[in-house]
Every structure is written in structure tokens, then in C-alpha cells.
Amino acid sequence: MNWLTEPFRHEFMQRALFGCALIGFTNGVLSAFIVLRRLALMADAMAHSLLPGVAVALILFGLAPGNLFFGALVAALLVGLGVQVISGSSRIKEDTSLGLLFACSFSLGLVLLSLSPSQVNVTHYLFGNILGLSDGDLWIIYLISFIVLPLLVAFQRPLLMLMFEPSIAASQGVLVKPLNYMLIGLLVLSMISSLQAVGVVLALGMLIAPAATIYLCSDSFAAMFWGGGIIGMLGSCAGLFVSYWLNLPSGACIVLVLGVIFFAAYLFSPKYGILSKFLRRRHLHEESLARWEERNSIDRAVRSQSKEN
């Protein structure tokens, strides 16, 4: 068991594991909403647009978790607002303006970071640096989890109705617009929390893979909600271990492990996996073949009987 406990002798690994578990769980629970509300593209754009906020905060106020947090938050809000303004005031549709703004703000972020006097490592923000979690980072992760999770649990019913069909939900008195804004807000918050773990480029993996996995295995929303959290948590922690043992980048390992779990479900899920679908079809095919042969043999028997007569 030495190989399992050995990593925990380092304090940075203890912190990292704690952070991974919490971030993985929060993002995993939220992923049910991202998948069902079809916010994947939106989430990706939002994640990339955090970068200039981080860069500006870094240049103006220095490297402190609180500063980066607010910088990222402001950047996400500005991009979100910009998308609404551009798509609302011109003939450009929402997905186009989203793509445009996210590419621009990501580029702006890269440029700003390269101009930054403090020589920060850009890759930390692109691909995460979970091994370098500070106390402040951990506090922000706690704080975000304690905002996101209770709100999602408390508003489970109206959120479920909203995701199922917004117009029926509205006709039943669900406040669709505020609820939508809340969901986007929570999305931004939990992305900021995963910034440290996997970075802006890979954040989407943690926000989609867990629920997408359960979506292939179950027809229950509750399973997607809690199961997504559990898969997110276990997958992230497993990814961390893999990166430690094999000495590979942590963010990429986390997302890869989540991806492997997803593909396992895609192939082997008893309900919606392609292998079981294939086997089931085969099964039906064999059944009909058997019926056909049975009928043929009866026909043959009848024919041979009539010949004998």
C-alpha cells in the first residue's frame, strides 16, 4: 500500500487532493445542468474569456488569489454581456458572437500575460497547476463550492422544470430568466474554481464529462446530479494520482481520466452504450433468423410429407 500512501507525505499533494475532490464534485454536479441545458459551447467560451481578466488583475494588483478571482469574474461578465449586446443589436447570431468574443478575449489574455512584468508562467493558467494551490486558492474553492452546491440543491425542482421545457415551466410560474442567469453565474464561479486545477483550456472537460457519462447510463435526473458529482470527484482524484505516479501534467491527466470513464460508458453502458446496442440488434437478428429457419424447416417437413404421400 506504500504506493498509495506515499504521495500524501507531501503537503502539496494533500492540498491538491483536497482541492481536486471539491472542485471535481462541484463541477461534476453542475455538469448535469450544462449537458441538459446545452450550454457546452457557452461554457467553453466563458472559460477561455477568463484569461484576460486574470492577466489584467495580475498586472494591476499582483499575484493573489482574490485578485485573480475578481479579474476572472469581471472578464466573464463582460464577455457574457458583450455577447448579448452584439447578438441583440446586429444580425450576428449568438453562437457567432460568442465564438468571436471568446477567441478575441483569449488572445487578449495571452498578449497581456506576455507583457506582464512579473514573468508568470502562462501555462499555469492555460493548463492548470493544482500542485501549487495556496491557502488562498483553497479558500476560494471552499467558498465557491459552498455557494454553488446549496443553490443547485435548493433550486433543483424549478431548474429541472426549466431544463425539461422552459415554456411549460414559465406557464407554471417558474421564473425562467432569473434562473437562467443564476445558472450562468454558477457556471462562471465553478469555472474559476477549476482554473487552478485544470486551467481555462481544459475546464470544459470537468464541466461536461461527468454528466455526459451518467447520461449514457441512466434515465434518472437525480443520478445525473449526484452521480456526476461522484464521478467528477473520483475521476479528478484518480487523475491526480496518475499524474503523480507517471510524472505527467496534472490537469491533462484529470481530464484524460474523466475522458476514459466517458468512453467506457460510451462503449459498455448496459443501457445506451454502442456495444450493448450492437449486441441487442444482433440478438434481435438472431431471433428473426431462428424464426425464419423454424418456418423453413416446417415448410420442408410439410413438403417432404406431401412428396411421400
Partner 1 sequence: MTTHHLEIKDLTVAYHRVPAVHHVSVDLRCGHCVALLGPNGAGKTTFFKALVGLVPKETGTIIFGGHGKVGADTDIAYLPQRSVIDWDFPITVRGMVEMGRYMRIGNWGRFGKADAQAVDLALRTMDLADLAERQISALSGGQQQRAFLARSLAQEAHVFLLDEPFTGLDKTAQDLLGQAIRKLAAAGNLVIAAHHDLKSVPELFDQVIFLNGELIAFGDTHEVFSEENIARAYRTHIFSGAHAHDAALAGSK
Q: Binding residues for partner 1, per CB under 8 A?
A: 36, 154-155, 157-158, 160-161, 163-165, 167-168, 170-174, 215, 218-221, 223-224
- Taking the C-alpha atoms of residue 124 and residue 199, their distance in angstroms, rounded to an integer, is 7
- Least distance in angstroms from the C-beta of 154 to partner 1: 7
Distances (CA, A) of 256 to 32, 48, 145, 157, 187: 19, 19, 23, 32, 21
33/106 with CB nearer partner 1: 33
- Taking the C-alpha atoms of residue 287 and residue 220, their distance in angstroms, rounded to an integer, is 31
- Least distance in angstroms from the C-beta of 226 to partner 1: 13
- Least distance in angstroms from the C-beta of 219 to partner 1: 4
152/255 with CB nearer partner 1: 152
- Least distance in angstroms from the C-beta of 227 to partner 1: 11
- Which residues 6+ apart lie within 8 Å of 136 measured at CB? 64, 65, 66
Q: Which helix (H) or strand (E) holds 176?
A: helix 176-215
- Taking the C-alpha atoms of residue 128 and residue 20, their distance in angstroms, rounded to an integer, is 12
77/223 with CB nearer partner 1: 223
- Are residues 244 and 14 in contact, defined by beta-carbon separation less than 8 angstroms? no
- Least distance in angstroms from the C-beta of 146 to partner 1: 19
- Taking the C-alpha atoms of residue 247 and residue 268, their distance in angstroms, rounded to an integer, is 30
The three grid cell numbers given for residue 287, joined into one nine-digit string: 431471433
75/211 with CB nearer partner 1: 211
- Least distance in angstroms from the C-beta of 214 to partner 1: 8
